Amino acid sequence: MSSLEGKVVLITGGTSGIGEACTEYFARAGAKVVTVSIQTDEGTALAKRLSSEGHACVFRYCDVSKEADVKAAVDLAVATFGRLDVVHSNAGVLRNQKITELTLEDFHLVINVNLLGPVLVAKHAIPVMERQGKGVVCFTTSVAADIGFPEHAVYGASKAALVALMRSLTTDHSPRGVRFVAVSPGTIDTPMLAASCAGWDKPKEELYADVARKIPIQRMGQPIDVARAVAFLVSDEAGFINGSVVHLEGGTLALPPW
């Protein structure tokens, strides 16, 4: 039996890239998944496909920067499946720009989705888990929290803030049975990464090949790599992993600065 069998899982940003891979992986592992995002057509199709295969998956529209949407998503999971065992707070956005080119509109978008969203998810999921006496919250941060990627200043700051958030939540709420973990992906082949290639003087395929050659493992990550790591971290087998960040970057952080 899968360690995820029967667990109720809420995934934000669950219909594209890493989130989509997690939705599929968790549902096929026997979890009961509520996947949410702002991509209504994609989410509806994903849930329909997984349900037609005999898996438990429900989609709901959710803008994680809106508290009412987040509360409704948590309430839906509990109302539909009776409890909430795992939350993967994964929704995120990227705006590439130097700080001197920053608009307040872009700043608020990145912070509202990447930081306020996880705060709201935690605010509404933790009380459910504390009542149960058990639960796990996993955040998707980024190696941009550790490395000075060009034109990623606000994005990197938002992801670094997630690590601080996770560790504070650990001290506040783990004594009542809730664990907190984070995954920190490096270069993962997702639609968000593809969109960031716009405007370069090379086609995406050449850019990807250049990046892969620089990663010690000699390839870019795939969303399934992250899904498998998240699945382990939120499982009972990882019960003593708490307040920790797992980096999934193929050795990028080990590279020397020359």
Count Cβ atoms within 10 A of the Cβ of residue 250 and give its class: 0-12 exposed, 13-18 middle, 19 or more buried: buried
Taking the C-alpha atoms of residue 116 and residue 141, their distance in angstroms, rounded to an integer, is 13
Q: Is 17 helix (H, G, I), strand (E, B) or coil?
A: helix
Radius of gyration of the chain (CA): 18
Q: Residue 206 has which token pair?
A: 């050449």
**208 an active-site residue?**
no
Taking the C-alpha atoms of residue 239 and residue 90, their distance in angstroms, rounded to an integer, is 21
Other residues' Cβ atoms within 10 Å of the Cβ of residue 128: 20
- The residues annotated as belonging to the active site are 155
